[in-house]
Structure 1
Amino acid sequence: MKMSDQNITVVVQRTWQVLVLRDADEQHGELIDDAGFETYPEALLYAAQQADQYGIGITYHADSFI
């Protein structure tokens, strides 16, 4: 999830932590904002709000859960 002029990425982690990063690659990025949530839907809602704030789209990559 990136916007070319700002290069912003919004990440929802398995722990329901949401990270907003600038100039992120596979390993690093400047942390702009982070927030933790009790449920996955809350984390997704916050991620969508952050994506909307920065005018970027959302791409979903599923991890396998056992």
Structure 2
Amino acid sequence: LSAKEYAMLETFLRHPAQVLSRQQLLSHVWGYHFDPGSNVVDVYVGYLRKKLGKDRIETVRGMGYRLVVE
């Protein structure tokens, strides 16, 4: 994993099964406020899905993303 992918995964692991908004992920991983035009969170979620399996991170429509814990 890249440093940013690892930081994002760590954020998900610290909040298991909790929905995290794009703004929360941007703040924790990149350290800046949400830019409505930025898709960097979506891109990195895609990278993590490719490496962890597509079903490990769930999209919660209108809210954000959640790590699926079994």
**TM-score normalised to the size of structure 2?**
0.36
Rg larger in structure: 1
- Considering fraction of residues, name the structure with more strand: 1
- Considering fraction of residues, name the structure with more helix: 2
Higher normalized contact order (CA 8 Å, seq sep 6+, divided by chain length): 2
**TM-score normalised to the size of structure 1?**
0.37
